Amino acid sequence: MNYTFQYGQVVQYIPYLLGGAWLSLQLAAISFVAGAAIGLVNATALSFGPRPARIAVRAYVTFFLNTPLLVQIFFIFFVLPEAGILLEPYTACAIGMSLNAGAYLTEIERAGFQSLRRSELDAAQSLGFNLRQTVWYVILPHIVKALYPPLSNQFIIQVMTTSIAAIFAVEELTGRTYNVNAITFRSLEIFSVAAVIYVLLTLIVSTALALVGRRVFRVKAKVF
């Protein structure tokens, strides 16, 4: 193999790639927050809701856990227009990733509900809390503290999953890497640079989450 590395041809595109990394982070944050909200509602329904609500949530979780994310986004992007619902690629990817994350976060947050001590729920009831107040003031703080590590891991997964948006021409990090590769034809150089950016992005996010966990939630989280 007689290959000459020419990173000089791709260095000028690093700011462009970093812009894509920032877009990846935004997409991950949006889908994670939306997914966490969906998970909280679903976990509440599974724990306290009537049987029809539990059945509906189970159907939702089963569907999104057992079908590929790519197929889910394809459905949103290509099938919904048949019903007159036209979505931008970024919006379709954000919705698909949010619904997918919501299924995983439903199971994670449900585990948090189950780990709650009965005495805490009895105390909330004795104080006259309704269901919304119990979830907001008692259950949610418990979930955040008890499940901070798996929630943090899910956010990291969301960051990595954003690369699937490149298939729909969203210019996140992988999408911009494709663009630069089409210009320079230096595949090995540009994709290795993108890989390094992903590693750095993951380390930065992991460190930030660990620091937040330690400072805000008093969670024993490892800082790189």
Segment 96-127, tens digit of pLDDT: 999 999 999 999 988 887 877 778 778 888 88
Q: What is the pTM of this model?
A: 0.87
Give the pLDDT confidence of 145-171 residue by residue, as tens digits.
778 888 889 999 999 999 999 999 999
**Torsion over CA: 54, 55, 56, 58 (sign):** positive
- Structural domains in the chain? 8-216 (1.10.3720.10)
Instruction: DSSP letter for 103, please.
Output: H
Residues 6+ apart with CB under 8 A from 137: 124, 129
For position 145, what pLDDT does the model report?
77
